[in-house]
Amino acid sequence: MNERPYTSVWNDLNQVEFSQGFLQAGPHRTRYLHAGDTSKPVLLMMHGITGHAEAYVRNLAAHAEHFSVWAIDFIGHGYSSKPDHPLEIPHYIDQVSHVLDTIGAETAYLSGESLGGWVTARYAIDHADRVEKIVLNTMGGTMANPKVMERLYTLSMEAAKDPSWERVKARLEWLMADPTMVTDDLIRTRQAIFEQPDWLKACEANMALQDLETRKRNMLSDDDLASIAAPALVVWTTKDPSGPVDEGERIAGLIPNARLAVIENCGHWPQYEDTETFNKIQLDFLLDRAATA
């Protein structure tokens, strides 16, 4: 097997006209990556638990041709503000509303991975008038598998207590079907976040959803999913560590105007692992393009 060529976040961005900065979105200092003309429709991309905006560095260029693309760090994550309390879905919903208000977007297209998909679905339920279309990418919020929750909690907290190279690497490898996708550069990008003085406390706050009782009161019921009015694309993968393709099929079957797309040989980050396929599937859906073989 040939060794994978070295890649870096900068390689992913060096031909992209983008900006990085912070929004004061209500009470939330929110870090963002932005690409695309601000006169275009807003597409907000949201990462998973303990993640950060770099989850989308490989997707900015393709989507910026058609959208004003914002990839944000959730509160308690990345370099956004770290609230001093356990973080539940309504807290992230509040942040999203403030972000859209701050950038002047009355409505937006939303795409979320894992936790980001959970927030996206709940946002489409609670704020249907602000949502154009949604993409639910290996979304959370419909399952409470104790084994998965414990594994995620353990890997995350170990890396928070000791952000060594190997522990951060192990946390990232959980995301990928092919662990060689976890490059040194990606490890260092996340390690720098985990090395922040306030990260351990922040990680404890954002791990609240791995507590079964807390998770249950935030979960999306079948009735919740059935109430989503926005057109929805459910993206699942054949090697997702959080749940089987059957769960993606079930979710897509419950949302009235939804379709399912399954990406082969990817784990929890298909937007990063198979960027070309993910970009095409998502853009075909967002732009109402006929899918081609």
Find tokens 């009235």 and name the residue: 256
**pLDDT digits 0-9 by tens, 249-278:** 999 999 999 999 999 999 999 999 999 999
H-state helical runs in the chain:
9-13, 60-64, 89-102, 115-126, 146-161, 165-173, 184-194, 199-206, 212-218, 222-226, 245-254, 270-273, 275-286
Find tokens 């999306």 and name the residue: 220
> What's the rounded mean pLDDT across residues 236-258?
97
Residue 2 has a pLDDT of 52
Antiparallel, parallel or unpaired: β 28-35 and 68-72 = antiparallel
Average pLDDT, the chain: 95
Residue 163 has a pLDDT of 97
* Nearest of 204, 201, 253 to residue 226 by alpha carbon: 253
Count of helix runs (H) and strand runs (E) in the chain = 13, 8
Give the number of other CB atoms < 10 A from CB of residue 290: 5
Statement: residue 17 has pLDDT above 50: yes
Residue 289 has a pLDDT of 86
* pTM for this predicted structure: 0.96
Q: How confident is residue 1, by pLDDT bands cut at 50, 70 and 90?
A: very low
Q: Could you give all domains of the chain from N- to C-terminal order, each with its CATH number?
A: 20-286 (3.40.50.1820)
**pLDDT digits 0-9 by tens, 56-74:** 999 999 999 999 999 999 9
Which tokens belong to 288? 């109402």
Q: How confident is residue 293, by pLDDT bands cut at 50, 70 and 90?
A: very low
**How far does the chain reach from its first CA to its final CA, in angstroms?**
28
Residue 6 has a pLDDT of 81
**pLDDT digits 0-9 by tens, 155-210:** 999 999 999 999 999 999 999 999 999 999 999 999 999 999 999 999 999 999 99
Residue 5 has a pLDDT of 77
Strand partners, 19: 34
Q: What percent of the chain has pLDDT over 90?
A: 94
